[in-house]
Amino acid sequence: MFQRFKLPLAALLLGLSASLPAAQRIDVDYRVRFLPDSDQAEVTVTLERGEALRYLDFSLGDQGYYSDFQAQGEWQQTGPERGIWRPQEGRAQLSYRVKISHPRDNGRFDARMTPDWALLRGDDLVPSAKIDVESGVELVSRLQFELPEGWRSVETGWPRIGKNRFRIDNPARLFDRPTGWILAGKLGSRRAVLGKTDVTVAAPVGEGVRRMDILTLLTFVWPHAQAVFPREPDKLLIVGAGDPMWRGGLSAPNSLYMHRDRPLVSENGTSSLVHELAHVFSRISDTDRSDWITEGVAEYYAIELMRRAGGLSEDRYQKIREQLTRWSRKVSSLRGERASGPVTARAVLLLQDLDAEIRKASGGQRSLDDVTRGLMRLDKASTEDFVQISESVLGGPSKVLDTRLLR
């Protein structure tokens, strides 16, 4: 019977696939020209077929970073924070200028341009937009840079497809834009293949970023990160610079930033680098005043991956728990829009206790890793989601999670 129906079934499936309409691929090209003299970039967005997009409604923010809009079609500024582009039919372009350097209140920068280099997030080059696109249209996006004289190279977290040219492909977005960290100018880079990921560590020449130190630590922890997280990026870009850039770490899609002076392993035994790496791998985001999940999970693995890689002895691990306990002793609730340092520390303790509870109940067959993988399947995770996934993994109610900290 199996042999009799094998061929007709294959023919039926082939006929069904042939009857499905193929997506219409429309090119979207971004061209970026850096202008160090004015601390700006000139951005041009080109649509192969403008009528495929009825409009793009851009979120321009309230800082006044965007200016000099010129559009083929209709451009309408709806207040200082939004702009709507209705492209003309056929080939259509929108061009504008965007300020690169973003000062913070403390005199530091989370994006900066100098005469020799620019360090920024692509999210700011092309602002987010609501989009109305024809049914069945797939946008194929590419990013091309035009560098000032003397600037040697540019790095992004996206696959390179030519000289200073990259392919932007984010299945989670209908409107593919160049999100993540970008570094251009006179650069020094170190590269390695870790697991299935092409890793690049890049920094401006003369900024003192210890690129090989970063690659070495990543080499130790990478197999353990692979074992936890079921997906790893095809490419990872790590960028850094010194003062007056912001003195911290910030993750973004396929990329992360670390200030030159951030230690790879802090005196309290955690690692900002591994913390941001956990964000990149997990891509967990939260909702309903549950930032403790996003930050707590990342900090938990900043410690745990170091421990599994042999970088923390058991006595050092217990001392870290003692430090976390002292730091978070006044925390009465984990809930909030942004988790502070003490809240994150208390979240780590809760996660460590939950891991121990799960391992004991399952005879070592399951752990917090299973909870993390469940969270990764959600668009956004709430505290209620966290409890439900944890108790599903545990196989019953959790004593650890029966606490006022989560209320």
Tens of pLDDT, residue by residue over 308-358, are: 999 999 999 999 999 999 999 999 999 999 999 999 999 999 999 999 999
**pLDDT range class, residue 23, cuts 50, 70, 90:** low
Which two structure tokens, joined as six digits, stand for 84?
Answer: 């709507």
Instruction: Give mean pLDDT, residues 208-228.
Output: 96
Q: Is residue 328 part of a domain?
A: yes
Q: Are both 184 and 308 inside the same structural domain?
A: no
**pLDDT range class, residue 64, cuts 50, 70, 90:** very high
Q: Are both 180 and 285 inside the same structural domain?
A: no
pTM for the predicted model, two decimal places: 0.90
**pLDDT range class, residue 20, cuts 50, 70, 90:** very low
pLDDT in tens, 158-195: 999 999 999 998 877 788 899 999 999 999 999 999 99
Q: Is residue 8 part of a domain?
A: no
CATH number of the domain within which 69 lies? 2.60.40.3650
- Compute the distance between CA of residue 47 and CA of residue 178 in angstroms, rounded to an integer: 15
What pLDDT is stored for residue 129 in this prediction? 94
- 121 conformational bin, left if phi > 0, alpha if psi -120 to 50, beta if neither: beta
What pLDDT is stored for residue 373 in this prediction? 97
- Compute the distance between CA of residue 177 and CA of residue 162 in angstroms, rounded to an integer: 18
> Exposed, middle or buried by CB within 10 Å (0-12, 13-18, 19+), for 11?
exposed
Q: Which of the listed residues 205, 238, 255 is the one where a domain comes to its end? A: 205
- Compute the distance between CA of residue 360 and CA of residue 382 in angstroms, rounded to an integer: 25
pLDDT in tens, 372-395: 999 999 999 999 999 999 999 999
Is residue 77 helix, strand or coil? strand
Tally of domains within the chain: 2
- Compute the distance between CA of residue 146 and CA of residue 151 in angstroms, rounded to an integer: 10
Q: Which of the listed residues 165, 180, 205 is the one where a domain comes to its end? A: 205
Q: Are both 191 and 288 inside the same structural domain?
A: no
Q: Are both 190 and 312 inside the same structural domain?
A: no
Q: Is residue 153 part of a domain?
A: yes
Q: Is residue 334 part of a domain?
A: yes
Side-chain half-sphere exposure of 269, counting CA atoms within 13 A: 23
| CB-CB neighbours of 361 under 10 Å | 15
Q: Is residue 257 part of a domain?
A: no
Is residue 82 helix, strand or coil? strand
Q: Which of the listed residues 205, 237, 261 is the one where a domain comes to its end? A: 205
- 197-204: strand order across its sheet: 187-194, 197-204, 235-241, 255-259, 249-252
b/e map 381-398, b = 16+ CB within 10 Å: bebebbeebbeebbeeeb
Q: Are both 177 and 74 inside the same structural domain?
A: yes
Q: Is residue 164 part of a domain?
A: yes
Place of tokens 């797939």: 138
Q: Are both 52 and 187 inside the same structural domain?
A: yes
Q: Are both 38 and 174 inside the same structural domain?
A: yes
**For residue 298, what are the domain limits?**
279-406
8, pLDDT greater than 60? no
Q: Are both 184 and 316 inside the same structural domain?
A: no
Q: Are both 285 and 377 inside the same structural domain?
A: yes
Q: Is residue 366 part of a domain?
A: yes
Place of tokens 């989370």: 110
Distance from the first to the final alpha carbon of the chain: 59
Closest CA to 359 of 344, 347, 370: 370
Q: Are both 57 and 168 inside the same structural domain?
A: yes
Residue type, 179: T
Residue type, 337: E
Angle, helices 291-308 vs 341-361, to 10°: value is 60
Q: Are both 177 and 304 inside the same structural domain?
A: no
Q: Is residue 386 part of a domain?
A: yes
Closest CA to 141 of 152, 151, 156, 119: 156
Q: Are both 286 and 400 inside the same structural domain?
A: yes
